[in-house]
Structure formats: C-alpha cells, structure tokens
C-alpha cells in the first residue's frame, strides 16, 4: 500500500468520526481538569483534532468566560465536558446553549433523557460515556448522539475494565451511533486497531499533557516525562464500608498519605468519634484541590498527578500539531504495512465508517 493509499484508507476509517466532530481528524482531546483549558483546547482544534474543555467544578459564569476565551483562540469546532453530578448542571447546559457550543460531553454518571434532550434542544450534539454494551445502547435510546468508551488504562477516575476488552465487547455490536475509544492510547498503531474494529475515532488525554501549549506546571510535565506505565497506579480502597472511586495517578507521597488518611478515618469511625457518613465525607474531601496543586502550583510530591498508563509513551514536550502529526504518521505506516489491502479501499470498510466524499482526504 502506498503512502497516498494509506492516507485515503485512514480517512475512510475515521470518516464517520470526522463528520460527527466537524474536524480533519477524529482525535478528541481528553477533558482533563485544570489541563484542558482554553490554550490546549484551542491548540488541539487548530491542529485538526477536537479539543474538549473540562468544566469540572466551574460555576456557570466561569464556564461562560472560558468558552468565550477559547473561541477567541480558534474558529474550529470544540466541545465542553460537563460533570453529570454538578449541582448547577442545568445552568451550565444553558451556558453551552447561549455560547452556541456544538458538542457537549456528559461524564461522571449516566445522563438522564431530560439532560440529553436539553443539550440537543440547545442545538448541540450530546455525547455520553458507556462502560458496557447494554449501557451504550441505553444511552443511544435516551438520545445520546455519540458515545465514548474508556478503559481502566486511562488517567483520573476509572472503571474496572480494560480498553481492549471494552472495545471487543462494544464496537462490533453497537452501530447505532459513533463510538470513540479512550484509555491507554498513545500511538497511531493503536488508533488504527480500534478504527478497524469499528470505532469512529479516539480520545487522547495523557499524550497532550506535555504539549507545549499545555499550561501544566513544568514540574508536572517533568513527572510525566520521567514516568513509566507502571508508575500510573489506581488508588486503593482499604475498607468496603468506605468506597473510594478509583483514580489513576502517578504514585507519590500524596498517594501514601491517602492510604494512611483512610486508616485514620476508619479508626475514628470504629472508635465512635465520627459517623460513617462523616468519615466518607472526610475521605472524599482529601483530594479536594490536590489536582490543582499539582497542575498549577507544581506540587508533585503531595498533589494529584492524574495520568493514564500511556504516560510511558510521553518522552518530551512537543507542540500539539507535532503530537497529532506523529500519531497520524504512525497510523499511516501501520496501514501501509498491510499486504493486499490496497486493492479495494471500500471493500473492507464498515458501512458506518463511511462518509461523503468531501470528508475523505481532508486530513
């Protein structure tokens, strides 16, 4: 397969994702709190990807300002990630409508049909996360226009199942909506593998943390560059009475302190000093502000260094455009290495991966 043919094949494989996002490549940026702000989001979109603003715990006015600031840096499509449990979710959705946001991604639980309808009534496309095939189908029936499936290799809050298993479970059978794969993706060969399995695109987070345009503190970036895959560990729950939502981050002194803090709180509850609910609240609040301390202030000893296992593939600081170009080159090389695939570009491409000719060759 020639280089030109490989490029055409890649364009066909992610044509559905490109058409859905309105971009030249079907690579979404992961929504990483404090990292995925206006500068990184705009850089990803300007380079042909799809940047996604992380709202996190922002109040509505702050989100409105961040969206406006992002629009001042790019005229390309980008999305906004909202947390389903945010107390001002409906107002945040109103902000997205008022700011004419084209795509809204709901994370942190299953959105209701009312939430999805509110997104779509505001003129945006609704995206949701699906940890199983059944939940994915349910989300589509409730109104989700596209899905993200994210494996346990990802950074931040994670589920228990690997990306490769989720992809095999969901991609061959869920064809009603575009599906984007996330978690542990750091090279173009992996992107091709998921596209060929039926994905419409991918979501990449950890690789973009050390982008030149990322505002992450130099200490934070150095921690990523020095880390290996096994350094990105999931947080540990000591007692089933006190559930901890697993978070994958680089192990540091703060990780050890969290384990000791859990032991202390559990002992206080068992001793009658705290109620179980009070203990749960103290454990939940332990990491409050810890991510900001690491990303913005550079406290890499006791801050939270949320990172996916693909952190081992982060070896240097690079401009976003170079990272995307590297991923695409790797994908094309993988496709060019296929034997006998170039005879017919359309014969083995799933129907749902096709789009209008105007999308093909846009990269």
Q: Over the stretch 124-183, which tens digit does the pLDDT of each residue have?
A: 999 999 999 999 999 999 999 999 999 999 999 999 999 999 999 999 999 999 999 999
Instruction: Look at the domain 3-215+314-353 and name its fold.
Output: TIM Barrel (3.20.20)
Q: H or E element: which one contains 104?
A: strand 103-107
Q: Per the structure block, which two tokens stand in for 30?
A: 């992961």
Of the chain, the percentage scoring pLDDT greater than 70 comes to 93
**Residue 281 pLDDT:** 84
**Residue 20 pLDDT:** 98
The CA–CA distances, whole Å, from 106 to 4, 110, 301, 312 equal 37, 8, 31, 28
The CA–CA distances, whole Å, from 265 to 253, 270, 290 equal 18, 9, 19
CA atoms within 13 A on the CB side of 136: 24
**Residue 362 pLDDT:** 32
> Assign residue 75 a region: left if phi > 0, alpha if psi is -120 to 50, beta otherwise?
alpha
Q: Per the structure block, which two tokens stand in for 47?
A: 């380079």
> Assign residue 268 a region: left if phi > 0, alpha if psi is -120 to 50, beta otherwise?
alpha
Rounded CA-CA distance 227/313 in Å is 9
DSSP 260: H
Q: Per the structure block, which two tokens stand in for 324?
A: 């995307």
Mean pLDDT of the chain: 92
Per domain, the residue ranges of the chain are: 3-215+314-353, 228-306
More confident residue, 9 or 284: 9
Confidence label for 4 from pLDDT (cuts 50, 70 and 90)? confident
Could you report the per-residue pLDDT of 309-333, keeping only the tens digit for each?
Answer: 999 999 999 999 999 999 999 999 9
Residues 106, 117 contacting (CB under 8 angstroms): no
Residues 114, 122 contacting (CB under 8 angstroms): no
242-256 average pLDDT score: 91
Could you report the per-residue pLDDT of 6-31, keeping only the tens digit for each?
Answer: 999 999 999 999 999 999 999 999 99
Residues 86, 63 contacting (CB under 8 angstroms): no
Per DSSP (E only), the strands in 134-292 are: 146-150, 156-157, 179-182, 201-204, 232-234, 247-250
User: Which pTM value belongs to this model?
Assistant: 0.90
Work out the angle at residue 183's Cα, subtended by the Cα atoms of residues 179 and 189, and round it to the nearest 5 degrees: 80
DSSP 107: E
């Amino acid at each position: 397969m020639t280089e030109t043919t490989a490029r055409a094949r890649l364009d066909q494989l992610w044509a559905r994702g490109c058409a859905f996002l309105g971009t030249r490549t079907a690579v979404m940026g992961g929504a990483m709190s404090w990292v995925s702000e206006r500068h990184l989001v705009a850089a990803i979109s300007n380079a042909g990807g799809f940047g996604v603003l992380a709202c996190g715990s922002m109040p509505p006015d702050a989100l409105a300002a961040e969206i406006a600031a992002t629009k001042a840096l790019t005229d390309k499509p980008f999305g906004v990630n909202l947390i389903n449990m945010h107390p001002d979710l409906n107002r945040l959705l109103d902000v997205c409508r008022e700011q004419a946001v084209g795509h809204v991604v709901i994370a942190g639980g299953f959105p209701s049909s009312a939430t999805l309808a509110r997104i779509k009534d505001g003129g945006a496309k609704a995206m949701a996360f699906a940890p199983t095939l059944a939940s994915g189908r349910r989300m589509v029936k409730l109104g989700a226009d596209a899905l993200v499936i994210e494996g346990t290799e990802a950074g931040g809050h994670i589920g228990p199942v690997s990306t490769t298993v989720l992809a095999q479970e969901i991609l061959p059978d869920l064809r009603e909506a575009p599906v984007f794969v996330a978690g542990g993706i750091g090279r173009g060969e992996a992107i091709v593998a998921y596209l060929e399995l039926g994905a419409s695109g991918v979501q990449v987070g950890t690789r973009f943390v050390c982008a030149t345009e990322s505002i992450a503190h130099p200490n934070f970036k150095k921690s990523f560059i020095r880390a290996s895959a096994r350094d990105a560990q999931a947080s540990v729950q000591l007692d089933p009475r006190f559930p901890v939502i697993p978070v994958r981050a680089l192990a540091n002194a703060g990780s050890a302190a969290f384990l000791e803090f859990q032991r202390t709180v559990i002992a206080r509850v068992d001793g009658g000093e705290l109620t179980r609910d009070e203990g749960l609240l103290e454990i939940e609040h332990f990491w409050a502000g810890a991510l900001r301390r690491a990303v913005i202030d550079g406290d890499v000893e006791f801050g939270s260094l949320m990172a996916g296992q693909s952190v081992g593939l982060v070896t240097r600081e690079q401009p976003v455009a170079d990272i995307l170009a590297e991923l695409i080159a790797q994908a094309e090389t993988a496709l060019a290495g296929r034997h006998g695939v170039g005879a017919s570009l359309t014969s083995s491409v799933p129907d749902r991966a096709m789009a209008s000719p105007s999308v093909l060759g846009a990269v």
